[in-house]
Amino acid sequence: MVRHAAVRLALAVPTLVGVLFLVSALLHLVPGDPVDAMLGEGSSSVDREQLRRAMGLDRPPWRQLAEFAAGALQGDLGRSIAGGEPVALLLAQRYPATLQLTAAALGIALLIALPLGAAAAIRSGSIADRVSLILAAAETALPTFCLGPLLILVFAVELPWLPVSGRSGPASVVLPALTLGLGLSAVLARQLRVALADALRLDCVRTARAKGASGWRTILVHALPNAATATMTVLGLQLGGLLAGAVVTETIFAWPGIGRLLVQAIGARDYPLVQGCVLAVACTYVVVNLLTDVVLAALDPRLRERT
Amino acid sequence: MRRVTRSEHIGTHPTSMKHLRCPSVPDVLSRRQRFSAGRGRACGLAAVVAVLLAGAPGCAGEPARAPGWVVVGLDAPPNSLDPRTGSDASAVAILDLVHRGLVRTGPAGEPVPDLAVGWDTPDPVTYRFRIGDARFQDGRPVTAADVAATYASIEQPAFQAARRDGLELIAEVVAETSHVVRFSLREPSATFLGAARLAILPAACAAEADCRIGAGPFRLGRVELDTVEIHATSTADPAPDVPGIRFTISPDSVARALGLARGTIDLVQNAVEPDLLPWLESAGLEVVSTPGSTFHYLGINVRRPELSDPRVRRAIAHAIDREAIVRWVLGGHARLANGLLPPEHWSHAPVPEIGYDPAAARRLLAEAGTAVRVSLKTSTVELRRRIGEAIGAMLGDVGIVADVRPLEWASLYGDVRRGAFDLFALAWFGIRDPDHYHAMLHSEMAPPRGSNRGGFADAEVDALTVAARGPIPRAERRALYDRVAGIVQRDVPYVPLWWVDNVVVKNRRLAGFVPSPGGDLRSLAHASWTAQGRGGRS
């Protein structure tokens, strides 16, 4: 297991380097200049060049990226071009909010998906199955930018139970987490339905039944662990989507997370901040995938044997 | 019922079951032990939920609001809270309430005294300001030494990104007495007073990179992610009625509107989509629309061969039904523009508008004899994108093939600055002096030096805009700018679209706030709460 995790961790390094390089290259390729954003028009060329030099923007993009990477290895992510604050500090301020939102969304998704997917699999073709299908279709069809305001309208304006936006207390995480989690729950529920229905047809499950195991015991102890492998894989992949979806959700709900910070940084062409945000998101994604692999390997020894 | 044990599984199906079992709770555990294990997991889940909720600060529900405070919704966080570096709309909205300059802008766009009670110009390169009795928020009086220190601070490297509008004209600032300060200019200029709007800081703090003490009616308080609070000061005369203002950042337009409807936001200015205004009125909020000075226009790249012909540019102007766009897309909250500055501005030129006339547009295109195919670059902001699509369709109706390309702000601005466009739709806000024509139209003012983005070149416009900068009476300046406006109307280097209104949505109980043409929030210093009416649903 340790070797398996070490191999996955080693493979994560080129992934991170690739992501960082690609994002930085694209950002330098598209039009826009941080000095333009700060000074606007009418500034003298002397001022512009002074500012460019002071911020290290006069150096070639590859050198800026190399210096950022060298600093990152030593724990220094540089300073924001726009505000001058250390990038690490900005990330430390925002990252917990995104983590909290993502974890809450994941919790909501699992709370909905597990019973819904299981009920649909056990009673295939039943009302529960059809309801889960309709719910899944509706949740997938409703984009975040539509679902979010709808939830605010119902649960914060018409029924003033929850805050409209901001990160002002425990209640404020509910609506953004629901917005993010509902979409994921639909995907997970359908995936679990298929996987659990397949698992229920396995020989081992039939044998367990033949030996007198109760219905619930057969499902929970024998079928569900077999279905978990496919569901965990999808969950790991979807978590990336959850982080990407957080950009829109954080904007709608004024959630002070890393997604909004990234959007602002891109708008200002704040290269160190964009690189820092991308690195944080990519690291999270890599860690989640690593954890998924480890859990999968624990669930299914065949995966360990292949590594 | 007999339990099926793990050993029995493996024993019965040595191959198929080997990798397929994963009973988390060992089957060998007793029922009591399994119950305990299940309870342990439930406790674990509860602990995770508790940790998740505990991660959020404060208590449940909306953030606590101190009695009498006003909550203002902004669409973006301020880029700085130092008046020398804070330059975006959010920063200006906040800092205008915290700081004061020697002069400010009057209703007709003219400079009027603020901290200064008056000024004289003993010679064309000298301005002498007399400072009135005013105090900073720390209680110290505002003196000429503070003014000199503030202007000196701009030269520090820390303020390379500072606003330098007109500051390059200043050669020296000297405190002659405690209440008289003298500005010596490098050359005579009619536009210098624009530079006298700079916020004055205490001399003791002006050298700091983040000086937050001003002479305005509010002082900066708590600053957090997405929240800035300012408190009323006793040093202001008269002191504000409201004890404080909380600026809350709500980047989504719909969420801002819903916050207004709920009553968690009391006031939003120019940051609610026109489509939502009727719904907000029906929700009990007050919508106030007053004439504004933000100028929207269509920029034209006259360097492109097909757009170098004034007839084609005029045809573009005739093709756009601006009245329909204002009525149906902007909800009527704009006035059709004939030039840079609106009718209430002292320099407004009474030139005729280029009206909607598709027949004239087709005739001009036929005379020009060229097939016109253009790209129109605009913002990805929903309202701007819709306006861009409407203009593209109208151009198509007269035979101009227009490819509408919405771009995020930095890309749009980057393309516009480097001349990578045929047409673009943008707006100028905060224009106070017609000297802006010099930056927009003088042939030597291409970016980055100026804002002549379309490459327009006309010797007469060059001469007129330079002459109007000299130390001449306002009436003479106005006559020169009238001639510039006439040339713009004839040659159409850009198409004036409209001046958008200042649209304020506010709690009905909040009285005394009057939107200013420039869109600042200074009037909040005179706002107060009334017992009558309702705002939102809270």
Candidates B54, B248, B255; nearest CB to A253 = B255
Tell me the C-alpha distance between B314 and B363, whole Å.
Answer: 11
On the question of pLDDT at B42 being above 70, the answer is no
Please report the pLDDT score of residue A39 as a whole number. Answer: 66
- Residues in chain A with CB shorter than 8 Å from the CB of B259 are 164-165
**Distance to chain A for B337, nearest Cα, Å:** 23
Hey, which residues 280-319 in chain B have their CB within 8 Å of chain A? none
CB of B9 within 8 Å of any CB in chain A? yes
Interface test mutation site (partner B, options A168, A206, A226, A299, max chain B beta carbons within 10 A): A168
Q: Which residues contact A135 (CB under 8 A, 6 or more apart)?
A: A116, A186, A189
Looking at per-residue pLDDT, the higher value among A183 and B275 belongs to B275
Amino acid at residue number B351:
V
Q: Taken in order B19, B21, B22, B24, is the CA torsion positive or negative? A: negative
CA B6: distance to chain centroid? 68
Q: What angle do CA B115, B116, B117 make, to 5 degrees?
A: 115
CA B303: distance to chain centroid? 30
Tell me the percentage of chain A whose pLDDT exceeds 90: 14
Using pLDDT thresholds of 50, 70 and 90, give the confidence band for residue B53.
very low
Using pLDDT thresholds of 50, 70 and 90, give the confidence band for residue A224.
confident
Tell me the C-alpha distance between B417 and B413, whole Å.
Answer: 6
- Residues in chain B with CB shorter than 8 Å from the CB of A253 are 252, 255
- Residues in chain A with CB shorter than 8 Å from the CB of B410 are 30-33, 36-37, 266-269
Please report the pLDDT score of residue A307 as a whole number. Answer: 52
Q: Which of A242, A254, A222 is nearest to A288 (CA)?
A: A242
* Residue whose token pair is 């606003």: B163
On the question of pLDDT at B18 being above 80, the answer is no
On the question of pLDDT at B155 being above 70, the answer is yes
Tell me the C-alpha distance between B436 and B487, whole Å.
Answer: 15
Tell me the C-alpha distance between B369 and B492, whole Å.
Answer: 18
Please report the pLDDT score of residue B60 as a whole number. Answer: 41
**Distance to chain B for A157, nearest Cα, Å:** 5
Looking at per-residue pLDDT, the higher value among B204 and A50 belongs to B204
Please report the pLDDT score of residue B456 as a whole number. Answer: 95
CB of B252 within 8 Å of any CB in chain A? yes
If you average pLDDT over residues A273-288, what whole number do you get? 86
Q: Would the CB atoms of B251 and A251 count as touching at under 8 Å?
A: yes
- Counts for chain A of helices (H) and strands (E), in that order: 14, 0
Interface test mutation site (partner B, options A164, A207, A255, max chain B beta carbons within 10 A): A164
- Residues in chain B with CB shorter than 8 Å from the CB of A149 are 252, 254-255, 258
Looking at per-residue pLDDT, the higher value among B309 and B209 belongs to B309
Please report the pLDDT score of residue A61 as a whole number. Answer: 81
pLDDT digits (tens, 9 = 90+) for A86-121: 999 999 999 999 989 999 999 999 998 888 888 888
Q: Would the CB atoms of A170 and B161 count as touching at under 8 Å?
A: no
CB of B14 within 8 Å of any CB in chain A? no
Tell me the C-alpha distance between B182 and B147, whole Å.
Answer: 10
Candidates A48, A254, A302; nearest CB to B255 = A254
Q: Would the CB atoms of A254 and B252 count as touching at under 8 Å?
A: yes
Looking at per-residue pLDDT, the higher value among B41 and A160 belongs to A160
Tell me the C-alpha distance between B391 and B361, whole Å.
Answer: 14
On the question of pLDDT at B59 being above 90, the answer is no
A83-87, B99-103, B473-477, B509-513, range with the lowest pLDDT: A83-87
Please report the pLDDT score of residue A28 as a whole number. Answer: 78
- Residues in chain B with CB shorter than 8 Å from the CB of A265 are none
On the question of pLDDT at A182 being above 60, the answer is yes
Q: Would the CB atoms of A254 and B20 count as touching at under 8 Å?
A: no
Q: Which of B504, B482, B485 is nearest to B496 (CA)?
A: B485
- Residues in chain A with CB shorter than 8 Å from the CB of B18 are 301
Looking at per-residue pLDDT, the higher value among B431 and B525 belongs to B525
Phi-psi region of A85 (alpha: psi -120 to 50; beta: other; left: phi over 0): beta
B8-17, B201-210, B246-255, B476-485, range with the lowest pLDDT: B8-17
Q: Would the CB atoms of B255 and A252 count as touching at under 8 Å?
A: yes
Please report the pLDDT score of residue B29 as a whole number. Answer: 36
Tell me the percentage of chain B whose pLDDT exceeds 70: 85
Tell me the percentage of chain A whose pLDDT exceeds 70: 93
Phi then psi dihedrals of residue B121, to 5 deg: -125, 90
CB of B15 within 8 Å of any CB in chain A? no
Task: Supply the mean pLDDT for chain B.
Answer: 85
Tell me the percentage of chain B whose pLDDT exceeds 90: 63
> Minimal Cα distance from A257: which residue of B?
B225
On the question of pLDDT at B52 being above 50, the answer is no
On the question of pLDDT at B149 being above 70, the answer is yes
Using pLDDT thresholds of 50, 70 and 90, give the confidence band for residue B39.
very low
Tell me the C-alpha distance between B200 and B140, whole Å.
Answer: 13
Please tell me chain B's helix, strand, coil percentages from 3-state DSSP, rounded to the nearest 5: 35, 20, 45
Tell me the C-alpha distance between B276 and A157, whole Å.
Answer: 15
Tell me the C-alpha distance between B7 and A209, whole Å.
Answer: 16
Q: What angle do CA A43, B454, B482 make, to 5 degrees?
A: 85
If you average pLDDT over residues A38-60, what whole number do you get? 70
On the question of pLDDT at A251 being above 50, the answer is yes
If you average pLDDT over residues B462-478, what whole number do you get? 92
> Minimal Cα distance from A203: which residue of B?
B16
Interface test mutation site (partner B, options A165, A198, A201, max chain B beta carbons within 10 A): A165
Q: Would the CB atoms of A260 and B251 count as touching at under 8 Å?
A: yes
Hey, which residues 90-119 in chain B have their CB within 8 Å of chain A? none
If you average pLDDT over residues B213-225, what whole number do you get? 92
If you average pLDDT over residues B260-265, what whole number do you get? 93
Residue B180 tokens, joined: 């008289």
Please report the pLDDT score of residue B162 as a whole number. Answer: 55
A65-79, B208-222, B350-364, range with the lowest pLDDT: A65-79
A15-19, B162-166, B173-177, range with the lowest pLDDT: B162-166
Q: Would the CB atoms of B60 and A171 count as touching at under 8 Å?
A: yes
Q: Taken in order B13, B14, B15, B19, is the CA torsion positive or negative? A: positive
Please report the pLDDT score of residue B65 as a whole number. Answer: 75
What is the enclosing helix (H) or strand (E) of B220?
strand B218-224
With beta carbons less than 8 A apart as the criterion, state whether A177 and A111 touch.
no
Interface test mutation site (partner A, options B262, B282, B424, max chain A beta carbons within 10 A): B262
Strand partners, B494: B299
CB of B41 within 8 Å of any CB in chain A? no
pLDDT digits (tens, 9 = 90+) for B339-354: 999 999 999 998 998 9
Q: For chain A, which domains are there?
A: 87-305 (1.10.3720.10)
On the question of pLDDT at B31 being above 50, the answer is no
Looking at per-residue pLDDT, the higher value among B518 and B233 belongs to B233
- Residues in chain A with CB shorter than 8 Å from the CB of B22 are 225-226, 228, 299
- Residues in chain A with CB shorter than 8 Å from the CB of B408 are 266-267
On the question of pLDDT at B493 being above 50, the answer is yes
Q: Would the CB atoms of B420 and A31 count as touching at under 8 Å?
A: yes
Candidates A44, A163, A299; nearest CB to B62 = A163
Candidates A100, A208, A251; nearest CB to B56 = A100
Tell me the C-alpha distance between B199 and B438, whole Å.
Answer: 25
With beta carbons less than 8 A apart as the criterion, state whether A184 and A243 touch.
no
ipTM: 0.78
On the question of pLDDT at B24 being above 70, the answer is no
A57-66, A262-271, B106-115, B137-146, range with the lowest pLDDT: A57-66
> What's A79's DSSP letter?
B
Please report the pLDDT score of residue B535 as a whole number. Answer: 47
On the question of pLDDT at B378 being above 90, the answer is yes
Q: Would the CB atoms of A204 and B409 count as touching at under 8 Å?
A: no
Q: Would the CB atoms of A83 and B80 count as touching at under 8 Å?
A: yes
CB of B538 within 8 Å of any CB in chain A? yes
- Residues in chain B with CB shorter than 8 Å from the CB of A214 are 1
Candidates B61, B251, B254; nearest CB to A171 = B61
**Distance to chain B for A283, nearest Cα, Å:** 21
On the question of pLDDT at B486 being above 50, the answer is yes
Count of CB atoms situated within 10 Å of the CB of A108 = 20
Looking at per-residue pLDDT, the higher value among B290 and A23 belongs to B290
